[in-house]
């Protein structure tokens, strides 16, 4: 089996298990069973469990942000794009197996003891925050708004994860609309021409 193919299988298994059950609840043996990659090979690909966790979080970060961006880019209106973030959250929350934000969960589990996990969580949230800033910049709205939207989105992820309330994303979107209107009122769009 090709090295890259094996790597992909291992990361697929890691993502399913780590996200679904938590990192410490999953043993390297479980990864082996689900991926079909032998322990020996597994340790050739990832020297320690910590490295596997890091690779899992890195790959998921790229995928998560790509999926979000792809959805947002289906919308042409700069302000609509901001709202589209919350539409995408709603889609995500509704996916089978949704269990909250992988980075929030990992950070809660290992943030205090694993610098690797703490760093990955911080990077992911910073990247998401910067992405929201590109959206508010694109709509000529103040960056304060991006900060507020970040809080709403994070709160929605947590609340949807713990409470599983079905209307959480819609609630966040409604709040986002109100904040967007407030921001538009204080800083109207650049004059045409």
Partner DNA sequence: TGACTGAGAGAACCAGCGTTCTCTACGTTA
Partner DNA sequence: TAACGTAGAGAACGCTGGTTCTCTCAGTCA
Nearest distance in Å: CB 55, DNA: 13
Nearest distance in Å: CB 124, its own copies: 9
User: Binds 158, which of its own copies, DNA, none (CB < 5 to 8 A, cut-off by type)?
Assistant: its own copies
Q: Are 92 and 98 in contact (CB under 8 A)?
A: yes
Nearest distance in Å: CB 65, its own copies: 16
Angle of helix 78-94 relative to helix 143-163, nearest 10 degrees, comes to: 10
How is 103-161 classified by DSSP, letter by letter? Answer: HHHHHHHHTTT-HHHHHHHHHHHHHHHHHHHHHHHHTT--HHHHHHHHHHHHHHHHHHH
User: Binds 130, which of its own copies, DNA, none (CB < 5 to 8 A, cut-off by type)?
Assistant: none
Q: Burial, 74: exposed, middle or buried (Cβ in 10 Å; 0-12, 13-18, 19+)? A: exposed
Binding site for its own copies (CB under 8 A): 20-22, 24-25, 99-100, 103-113, 118, 121-122, 125-126, 144, 147-148, 150-159, 161-163, 168, 171-172, 174-175, 178-179, 181-182
Binding site for DNA (CB under 7 A): 1, 24-29, 37-41, 43-44, 48-50
């Amino acid at each position: 089996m090709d090295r890259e193919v094996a790597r992909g299988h291992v990361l697929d298994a890691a993502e399913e298990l780590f996200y679904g059950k938590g990192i410490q609840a999953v043993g390297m043996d479980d990864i082996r069973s689900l991926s079909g990659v032998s322990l020996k090979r597994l340790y050739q690909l990832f020297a320690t469990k910590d490295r596997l966790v890091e690779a899992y979080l890195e790959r998921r970060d790229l995928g998560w942000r790509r999926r979000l961006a792809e959805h947002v880019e289906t919308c042409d209106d700069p302000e609509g794009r901001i709202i589209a973030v919350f539409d995408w959250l709603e889609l995500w929350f509704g996916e089978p197996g949704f269990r909250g934000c992988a980075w929030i969960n990992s950070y809660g589990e290992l943030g205090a003891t694993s610098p690797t996990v703490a760093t990955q969580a911080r990077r992911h949230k910073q990247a998401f925050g910067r992405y929201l800033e590109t959206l508010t910049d694109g709509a000529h709205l103040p960056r304060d708004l991006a900060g507020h939207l970040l809080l709403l989105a994070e709160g929605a992820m947590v609340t949807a994860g713990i409470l599983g309330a079905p209307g959480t994303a819609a609630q966040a979107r409604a709040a986002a609309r109100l904040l967007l209107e407030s921001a538009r009122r204080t800083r109207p769009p650049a004059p045409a021409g």
